[in-house]
Amino acid sequence: QVIEYFFVRAQNYYFLEELKSIDMNNVLITMKLRKILANYKKVTNEREALKLVLKRAIDIPKFKTWINSNSEHFDIYCRSQGYKIDLSKEDKKIISNIVERVYGYRCSIAHAKGDVEEYIAIPNISRKIIAAEIPLVKYLAYEVIKNCSEI
């Protein structure tokens, strides 16, 4: 939820950056504005909003250093069977890997709810796997708060 707090802010920054690309003296403003609005609509879903926030917040060289500084982190996040983060890829792809990992686990937990009044939520993944994600989520949340907050 810490990271989700910044979704709307990141979407708004994206929109404003897109608007800056319009030459107001150009006759084709309406066409460009339509394109910008269409692109903005694409980034309003949760997964794309998460990507916008992480693009803004995560310094990839620093993230690589954090992962590589702990062999357990590297094994869990880069050698896992499921949502592998491939540090050899370009920055944009690394962000996409992180987004898929975080969003995938988030959905596994958040959508494990039942439709009964009293229930016990049982995620589709084990407690051990969820616990292993905590250092990554803490790291990301800290970087998001630090780099996306306006003081």
- Confidence (pLDDT) at 5: 66
Distance (Å, whole) CA 73 – CA 60: 15
Chain-centroid distance of CA 150 in Å reads 19
Distance (Å, whole) CA 87 – CA 91: 8
Distance (Å, whole) CA 12 – CA 26: 24
pLDDT by residue, tens only, the chain of 151 residues: 667 766 777 777 877 777 777 766 665 666 777 777 777 676 677 888 899 899 999 999 999 999 999 999 999 999 988 899 999 999 999 999 999 999 888 877 665 555 444 445 455 567 788 889 999 999 999 999 999 887 5
What's the CA angle centered on 53, arms 133 and 75, to 5 degrees? 25
Distance (Å, whole) CA 98 – CA 104: 10
* CA dihedral of 110, 111, 115, 117, whole degrees rounded to 10: -10
Q: What is the pTM of this model?
A: 0.70
- Confidence (pLDDT) at 116: 47
